[in-house]
Amino acid sequence: MQIDNDDERILAGEQGETRQKMLELLVALGKVFGAERLVPIRSAQVSGASYKTIGEFGLQWLNSLDATTVVPAVLNPIGMPRTRWQEMGIDADFARKQQAVVAAYERLGISLECTCTPYYLHETAFGDHLAWSESSAVSYANSVIGARTNREGGPSALAAALIGKTPCYGLHIEKNRKPHVVIDVQIATRDWTIADYGALGYHSGKLVGNRIPFFTGIRPDHDQLKALGAAMAATGAVALYHVEDITPEAQKTRYRIRDLEKIPVELREIANIFREVPVEAVALGCPHCSPEELGTLARLLAGKRVRKPLYIFASQGVIDANRKFVETIGKSGAKVYADTCMVVSPVMEQYKGIMVNSGKALAYVPDMCGGVARIGTTEECVKVAME
Ligand code: F3S
């Protein structure tokens, strides 16, 4: 693996033990995956931010590090809103430990924007190399933006943030970004919603596993692409997908899909995913809401009152830029929270039935929160919250 002179000096320990160890980690990873070099990255997104997932051992490891980031880097959602954790009913002991995790990352220079949608906050462009770790963010960056990132683990994303480079293998290389299988969606009878695309992703992830799918027969907008990719990354291991005539690489590259395996998907397969179960709370914003999604919720909730807990998650940056929507939503009794989400926060563990509009949340809520999940459209979720 080619190492330049600057990196040789880091490996020799000239910039401290933390940077030395972090570069050793990246080089070792590169050797395992056959990388010929390291590639400079535009930004990093670091998972392993919730105390619920990293625990005491992870916290101790973070506190042992001594270096600062050299590229913009954000955190994945943490286990609670940083400033409104009491309002959410978070246990004080958990909050203290979560604050210690956040402080450890802050000391390393990671921005405390804790989100799985960093693409709404920082410019990320076609062809940029990144080291992102949250699976839906990775899917969106690769597929919808046409940037290039493997799905990093928390430590390798952190190492990349501290070094400014990542090993150049996998999805950083053009030839590895070609589709492997065609998903032919044979449905065109109704206007599809975010939830429909989430359900399609939930179903398709199971069909394709870790292959790169090429979708035909659909015309999703950006929020629907986000829902599709997030769900596929949850039920499969899909870090990149293409949609005919829609996603940037499918537009720029004439992929030869004629010879690929073709999997048809019919309406009934998606309709089966929309099952009714008793609901105690509703949670929206998985992945974190876009400005448009907050606008839709403000319109649906204006002048109304919710009777069940309705949690809405978005990044602090998107909330700050859309205060009017957030105020309208707040007047209905629904709560908009930054920094955290329905899966990484312990807050949803108190409910036995949770309604979502996300295929990813449908997949994760049973394991991570212990409740039963039901998927419905955003309109249905709001209606159920008002019953
Ligand atoms: Fe984001 Fe949490 Fe969903 S990290 S994608 S809102 S599970």
Predicted pLDDT of residue 189? 54
DSSP code at position 164: S
Ligand 1 pocket residue status of 136, Cβ below 6 Å: yes
Contact between residue 378 and residue 284 where contact means Cβ atoms under 8 Å apart: yes
Instruction: Using the mean position of ligand 1's atoms as its centre, give its distance from the Cα of residue 212 in Å.
Output: 21
Distance CA 152, CA 140 (A): 14
Q: Which of 338, 195, 328 is nearest to 203 (CA)?
A: 195
List the residue whose alpha carbon is closest to atom 7 of ligand 1: 343
List the residue whose alpha carbon is closest to atom 3 of ligand 1: 286
The CA–CA distances, whole Å, from 228 to 48, 58, 59, 284 equal 23, 31, 33, 15
Atom of ligand 1 nearest to the CA of 116: 1
b/e map of 269-297 (b: 16 or more CB within 10 Å)?
A: bbeebeeeeebebbbbbbbbbbeebbbbb
List the residue whose alpha carbon is closest to atom 1 of ligand 1: 287
Q: Which of 72, 67, 68, 75 is nearest to 50 (CA)?
A: 75
Q: Mean pLDDT for each 10-residue chunk of the chain (387 residues)?
A: 95 97 98 98 94 90 97 95 92 94 96 95 94 98 98 97 98 97 82 94 97 96 97 97 96 91 94 93 98 98 98 97 98 97 89 96 89 95 97
**pTM value?**
0.96
List the residue whose alpha carbon is closest to atom 4 of ligand 1: 116
User: Which residue type occupies 219?
Assistant: R
DSSP code at position 69: -
Ligand 1 pocket residue status of 138, Cβ below 6 Å: no
Return contacts of 325-330, CB within 8 angstroms, 24+ apart: 325/291, 325/294, 325/295, 325/297, 325/298, 326/294, 326/298, 328/298, 328/301, 328/302, 329/294, 329/297, 329/298, 329/301
Secondary structure (3-state) at 246: coil
5 burial via Cβ count (<10 Å: 0-12, 13-18, 19+): exposed
